A and B are shown apart, each in its own frame.
Chain A
């Protein structure tokens, strides 16, 4: 029997956990279910797991262990960063700067803060998704308490020049906090929170082959945030609630496993992207790359438009062959309105509706790309034929 394996190219949405992570996760649930706050041996063992994981994340970010606060995931880390900073610094100023291509967890936090009286500047981006430093410079004011930018955009893979952004912010006012949403960059490209002069950095486990339900916020020592919840004193009372020990431990392991081969992995992912583009080109498929050139974007993300093709239909044609990608951004697929990121980089209607995101992981290989190219080529051919006879 010949079973063709699935080809999962939606790694920006979520990733398949490493086998080691799954094993660790279930072992902890079975054997090490203690509450880290308990004083008995079970509790101590559980607390140790948390601290090991904290060490792994800190190692990756080159920061102190006690600067890592575990959360339920990226969305909570972003909420804690933005609201926690804004509420805490309300008396110092009420202006926040972010970009038009943030993840909804940042965008909607900013909109909420706007409703509560904060002023928010949403910086536009160019056709490749980069913000303009001059525009940022003009937007910075005395009352600016926080700047939040996404590091790697989840839809088009643009890597913001975080080091230049951080330098600009701090040169204007060292008191202004800088938050980097690193959910798509963590363990994929090097992080250097100190070099960037950042104060806050969010990341998430399930984007790096870890379990769902764990994330972290790095908070520079000395920066204080207002907690979102009131409760016990877990995570030094910044994030109360019994810790998700198994997921947090899985997060640490996933980070260790990812970082061990980060450079090779990036090279592999760039090769896959390039192979996809070259293959489509050779097969005579008409397509455009949305966002920066593939070699300039993050290693694992590429967004392509097939003009005149409805992305959903092409996706399902791929899905029939067990190939999974995403239209624009997975979070939007239930809403008919186009992705705010693709709109922000100025895509026209045709390219918007024909846009697909492929996001890779080290589980993917070149043989898979051959099959994907073949299926896209035949699918596009078929759809063009059907559309052409009207």
Chain B
């Protein structure tokens, strides 16, 4: 069992790597590797796509990284490899991103990524800190996780999901903010599970042992 965390030079993967490694060890879920090699992604059993920064820059970096994009799309779309997108890696799963300019996403979850505009103007953007999850739909990855558990968010854009069945959890920040999306073998988390202490580690462990 090999879990590949895709490195396309978007942000700090050290803590994600350490968190996945630790949970893989504890759950006896095989090896975790950080890679920018398309061949490794192609043969991985699970794929994690992190991401920090702007939507267009992340998409461009992913597409420009020597076949990584094609290898990932092929593994997820055609071979149903379990996939986890984190933060901007989750947002890239949308149909379109509207940060700076309109950029086509992977189109895996129908929806668009737009600026957070809290109804209460005193609320700050970025949405930064710990917020309590509200679970919309049960999912195997939520085992041991309940509504009210906290996760660590830091983002200025969020995803509006077209099909309510594909929004698995949200938080309140002057209105609903999508926290977890998913369908079939894919799941995405707007927050950083690797920075969300026990709740995040549990979600990582659940993903690593998920058999969709």
Q: Do A and B come from one complex?
A: no
